Amino acid sequence: METYINQNLLNNLFYILSSIFIYYFIYDHGKRWNMSRRHKQWLLVVCTGFPLLLCMKFPIYIADDCVHDLRQIPFLIGTLYGGWFVGGMLLLILLAVRFMFYGFQFVTVAVYATMFIVAALASPAFHRLNRSGKLFMSVWLTFFVAILTTFVAIAVSDFQVIDSYIVDFILIPPVGMLFVVYITETLKEAIMMRSKLVKVEKMEIVSQLAASISHEVRNPLTVVKGFIQLMKSQQISKETQEHYIHIALEEINRAETIINDYLTFAKPATNKMEPLMVHLELQMVIHMLQPLARMNGIQLVESLESGIITGNAQHFRQCFVNLIKNSIEAMPNGGMLTISSLVRGNDVVITVKDTGVGMTSEQINRFGEPYFSTKEKGTGLGAMVAVKLIETMHGTWNIQSEKHKGTVITVTFPLAK
């Protein structure tokens, strides 16, 4: 029993599981560096190659013709998730380390080359499966390759199948794979869920804005319609006619701008970081939310100083749409909304100030917490998305609020170098 299940077995599992956490930690935080496909593959090579090496360095049991450890788990995980490239690199690492630590053996090459080919061939199918499909496939595939490679080993050498080999090489790895794939998929889902939340909130805003925007577009259309009817029904001078056409065109332009602003926002966002002119971006957001403010009888004051920061235009706009929309919603009976930007030292300081309902200190503390909302139809996601986006653009934020007086939100971004 000592030889099958001992401290080394647990250590092997520990190396593998911690590497997966490290992989997802870097993957999650690496989004802001825009990792390419190749970078991710290299990350996977490192994060599966390292436990592979550790498992081999501290094996469970050393028999005469075979070293027992859980190396096939990181090897199979890397190959299934990363395909030919990652699998190939892992095979090189595995063979090099094996021969360095325990000397050359042809049977090792035959066993792991077989394992590599089977797993790499299965990799595309593996990627198409859902979570439970992946769990199922990884367990059976591990079991199948263990059996297959045992026959390979027997065929190419006078390999002896012993008890501890059956336990360490054939029975434990499928169970280990089940754990590892389960944890991998859970972490992946958690990361994906977060980026989905951003989209859900955006759709919410898009549909809410649609109402006020269609209202705003209808006005110019009514004016244009009126002038065209006038021109049709009356005998009018050339001069008046031109005047009418001029007004009609202006109204059409206005409608066009509104639609354009709206569409820019509704377009899917990229992750591109670029120089942003703060005052232009804010003007665009204000332009877009003006109809909503006007419908609520809110007076809008803007004092915008120009400054250039590095960020993503879509994210910047979405962030301030969320904050300003909250301010507008905090003033159901009208009020004053002040939006300003000014350059202070190496920073741009943007403030959104309203004279609305304000917040209690408990509400201030919970600001940015997902699903925290005091509104009947609130999503409680707007502030969270805004806060997340500010952080990804290396900004900081501060909130001051007093019940029945109003709220001031200050966002500071470093100026671009």
Which residues form the interface with ligand ADP (CB under 6 A)? 322, 326-327, 330, 354, 356-359, 363, 367, 372-375, 378-384, 407
Strand partners, 119: none
Within 8 A by CB and 6+ apart from 288, the residues are 209, 258, 261, 262, 265, 317, 321
Which listed option, Mg ion, ligand ADP, none, makes contact with residue 357 (CB within 5 to 8 Å by class)?
Answer: ligand ADP
Find, among 62, 59, 73, the residue nearest to 11 by Cα: 59
Q: What is the DSSP letter of 376?
A: T
Choose between 83 and 368: whose C-beta lies nearer to ligand ADP. Answer: 368
Phi, psi of 158 (to 5 degrees): -90, 60
Q: What is the dihedral of CA 345, 350, 356, 360, to 10 degrees?
A: -60
Which listed option, Mg ion, ligand ADP, none, makes contact with residue 390 (CB within 5 to 8 Å by class)?
Answer: none
Q: Which residue has the tokens 């957001």?
A: 285
Q: Least distance (Å) from ligand ADP to the CB of residue 353?
A: 9
Q: Least distance (Å) from ligand ADP to the CB of residue 290?
A: 17
User: How far is residue 196's CA from residue 381's CA, in Å, rounded to a whole number?
Assistant: 12
Choose between 29 and 404: whose C-beta lies nearer to ligand ADP. Answer: 404
Is residue 317 classed as helix, strand or coil in its secondary structure? Answer: helix
Choose between 326 and 341: whose C-beta lies nearer to Mg ion. Answer: 326
Which listed option, Mg ion, ligand ADP, none, makes contact with residue 225 (CB within 5 to 8 Å by class)?
Answer: none
Q: Least distance (Å) from ligand ADP to the CB of residue 141?
A: 44
Q: Least distance (Å) from Mg ion to the CB of residue 325?
A: 6
Both tokens of 15, joined, read 């190396």
Which listed option, Mg ion, ligand ADP, none, makes contact with residue 312 (CB within 5 to 8 Å by class)?
Answer: none
Which listed option, Mg ion, ligand ADP, none, makes contact with residue 89 (CB within 5 to 8 Å by class)?
Answer: none
Residue 79, sorted as left (phi over 0), alpha (psi -120 to 50) or beta, turns out to be alpha
Choose between 201 and 251: whose C-beta lies nearer to Mg ion. Answer: 201
Q: Least distance (Å) from ligand ADP to the CB of residue 407?
A: 4
Q: Least distance (Å) from ligand ADP to the CB of residue 22?
A: 32
Is residue 374 classed as helix, strand or coil in its secondary structure? Answer: coil
Which listed option, ligand ADP, Mg ion, none, makes contact with residue 356 (CB within 5 to 8 Å by class)?
Answer: ligand ADP
Q: Would you tell me how many other CB atoms lie within 10 Å of the CB of residue 364?
A: 15
Which listed option, Mg ion, ligand ADP, none, makes contact with residue 354 (CB within 5 to 8 Å by class)?
Answer: ligand ADP
Choose between 59 and 382: whose C-beta lies nearer to Mg ion. Answer: 382
Choose between 314 and 326: whose C-beta lies nearer to Mg ion. Answer: 326
Write out the residues near Mg ion by the rule CB under 5 A: 326, 382
Residue 62, sorted as left (phi over 0), alpha (psi -120 to 50) or beta, turns out to be beta
Is residue 266 classed as helix, strand or coil in its secondary structure? Answer: helix
Q: Least distance (Å) from ligand ADP to the CB of residue 292?
A: 13
Identity of residue 218: R
Do the Cβ atoms of 169 and 68 come closer than 8 Å? yes
Choose between 67 and 389: whose C-beta lies nearer to Mg ion. Answer: 389
User: How far is residue 12's CA from residue 180's CA, in Å, rounded to a whole number?
Assistant: 12
Is residue 228 classed as helix, strand or coil in its secondary structure? Answer: helix
**DSSP-derived secondary structure for 119-181:** HHHHHHHHHHS-HHHHHHHHHHHHHHHHHHHHHHHHHHS-PPP-HHHIIIIIIHHHHHHHHHH
Q: Least distance (Å) from Mg ion to the CB of residue 199?
A: 16
Q: Least distance (Å) from Mg ion to the CB of residue 374?
A: 10
User: How far is residue 395's CA from residue 311's CA, in Å, rounded to a whole number?
Assistant: 10
Choose between 114 and 373: whose C-beta lies nearer to Mg ion. Answer: 373
Q: Least distance (Å) from Mg ion to the CB of residue 278?
A: 22
Which listed option, ligand ADP, Mg ion, none, makes contact with residue 30 (CB within 5 to 8 Å by class)?
Answer: none
Choose between 306 and 396: whose C-beta lies nearer to ligand ADP. Answer: 396
Choose between 93 and 409: whose C-beta lies nearer to ligand ADP. Answer: 409
Taking CB atoms, the residue at the shortest distance from Mg ion is: 382
Which listed option, Mg ion, ligand ADP, none, makes contact with residue 372 (CB within 5 to 8 Å by class)?
Answer: ligand ADP
